[in-house]
Each structure stands twice: as structure tokens, then as C-alpha cells.
Amino acid sequence: MYINRLVFSSEHQRKSACAMPDILTEAILDALISMEEEEELVITTSVPRQLAGRIRNRIANEIPVPPISKTELSAIRSLIFWAVNDTRFFDFEMPTPTGLTAKEFNDLAAKLPIE
């Protein structure tokens, strides 16, 4: 039995609900609506946009939005390696403002993709 089932009275209303400020929120909302239409999920709110927005915000805490491209990550990797290996730039005081030591930055850079 479905209680407070999300129902769109028209296709226009469904599309309007998907008009989101960003692609991630739109994708989340579309997935939730599709799952509900397939009866895999029951949305018990009259404001599915808020639900999608809250999920997006939780994801955004972990994944940058907009996403960082592989080229950008590769550039960051190169910059980190260059910076930590130049003692004129990365001196003994650098861990204080950055929070990481040269070794920790090297370990971080090693996690980033090579283009």
C-alpha cells in the first residue's frame, strides 16, 4: 500500500520538477522519480526537489561539483610534485599553513591520475 505517493498530474509537471539548477540534482531527481514509477521506491514528500537537493549536497561534500577533469587532476598532481620538491617553495614551515608535510603531499599526489 502506497501512502502519500508522489503523483504528477501531467507530463509537464513531471518535467518541471526536473528543472534543476545543476545536472547532478537533475539526475538524482530523475532516478528517484523513475524508481518510484517502477514501484521500487516510495517518495513520501510533496517536494521531491528538496529530497534530490539534500542528496546532492551530501554528495557534493565528497565529490567536487562541477567535477574536476582528468587533465585538471593531472595538472594538480604535477604542481604538487613540483612544489614539494622545491625547497625554496616548500620549506620547513609549509606544513603549518597547509596542514600536510612534504611526504603527505607526495602521497596525495601519487593518488591523483596521470593523464
Confidence (pLDDT) at 57: 87
pLDDT tens per residue, range 19-60: 435 788 888 899 999 998 998 988 888 888 899 989 988 888
DSSP string, the chain: --SS----SSHHHHHHHT--SSHHHHHHHHHHHHHHHTTS-----S-HHHHHHHHHHHHHTTS-SSPPPHHHHHHHHHHHHHHHT-TTTS-TTTHHHHS--HHHHHHHHHHSPP-
Is this model's pTM higher than 0.85 or not?
no
Confidence (pLDDT) at 2: 34
pLDDT tens per residue, range 89-100: 999 899 999 999
Of 6 and 84, the one with more pLDDT:
84
- Compute φ and ψ for 66, nearest 5 degrees: -70, 155
